[in-house]
Amino acid sequence: MIQSDVVIVGAGPCGLFQVFELGLLDLRAHVIDALPVAGGQCAELYPDKPIYDIPGFPTVGAQELVDRLLQQIKPFSPTFHLGQQVQELRKLEDGSFRLVTSTGTEFTAKAVIIAGGVGAFQPVLLRLDGIEKYENNQLFYRVKDPSLHHGKKVVVLGGGDSALDWALQLAGKASEITLIHRSAAFKAAPASVSRFKELAEAGKARFLLGSVLGYGETDGRLSSLNVTGIDQAKHVIEADHVLAFYGLNPKLGPIAEWGLTMNKHQIEVDTEKFQTSVPGIYAVGDINYYPGKKKLILSGFHEGALAAFAIKHQLFPNEKVHLQYTTTSPSVHKKLGVPD
**Mapping DSSP to helix (H, G, I), strand (E, B) and coil, where does residue 255 land?**
helix
Q: What CA–CA distance (Å, rounded) separates 99 from 93?
A: 14
Q: Which pLDDT score, from 0 to 100, does residue 45 have? A: 67
**pLDDT tens column, 26-57:** 999 999 998 888 988 787 767 777 899 999 99
Q: Which pLDDT score, from 0 to 100, does residue 201 have? A: 95
More confident residue, 3 or 264: 3
Whether 307 contacts 279, CB under 8 Å? no
Contacts of 73 (CB under 8 A, 6+ apart): 16, 17, 19, 20, 23
- Tell me which amino acid residue 164 is: L
Record the pTM.
0.73
pLDDT band at 264 (very low <50, low <70, confident <90, very high): confident
Q: Which pLDDT score, from 0 to 100, does residue 253 have? A: 66
10 Å CB burial of residue 287 (0-12, 13-18, 19+) is: buried
Whether 72 contacts 338, CB under 8 Å? no
Q: What CA–CA distance (Å, rounded) separates 25 from 304?
A: 12
**Which domains, from first to last, does the chain contain?**
2-121+249-336 (3.50.50.60), 125-246 (3.50.50.60)
Contacts of 314 (CB under 8 A, 6+ apart): 110, 111, 279, 280
Considering just the CA atoms, what is the radius of gyration of the chain in Å? Answer: 23
Q: What is the mean pLDDT of residues 217-230?
A: 96
More confident residue, 293 or 253: 293
Neighbours of 202 (CB within 10 A): 8
Smallest CA-to-CA distance from 300 within 324, 266, 251, 249 is with 266
pLDDT band at 4 (very low <50, low <70, confident <90, very high): very high
Whether 140 contacts 46, CB under 8 Å? no
Neighbours of 106 (CB within 10 A): 12
pLDDT band at 286 (very low <50, low <70, confident <90, very high): very high
**pLDDT tens column, 120-175:** 556 789 999 999 999 999 999 988 889 999 999 999 999 998 899 999 999 999 99
**Mapping DSSP to helix (H, G, I), strand (E, B) and coil, where does residue 44 land?**
helix
DSSP state of 205: S
Q: Which pLDDT score, from 0 to 100, does residue 120 have? A: 57
pLDDT band at 223 (very low <50, low <70, confident <90, very high): very high
Portion of the chain with pLDDT greater than 90, in percent: 76
Q: Which pLDDT score, from 0 to 100, does residue 42 have? A: 81
Which residues on neighbouring strands pair with residue 218, listed in sequence order? 221
**pLDDT tens column, 50-96:** 899 999 999 999 999 999 999 999 999 999 999 898 999 999 999 99
Q: Which pLDDT score, from 0 to 100, does residue 103 have? A: 95
Q: Which pLDDT score, from 0 to 100, does residue 318 have? A: 94
Portion of the chain with pLDDT greater than 70, in percent: 96
Q: Which pLDDT score, from 0 to 100, does residue 121 have? A: 58
Task: Check pLDDT > 60 for residue 119.
Answer: no
Q: Which pLDDT score, from 0 to 100, does residue 332 have? A: 85
**pLDDT tens column, 302-340:** 999 999 999 999 999 999 988 888 888 888 898 888 887
Q: Which pLDDT score, from 0 to 100, does residue 92 have? A: 95
Q: Which pLDDT score, from 0 to 100, does residue 255 have? A: 78
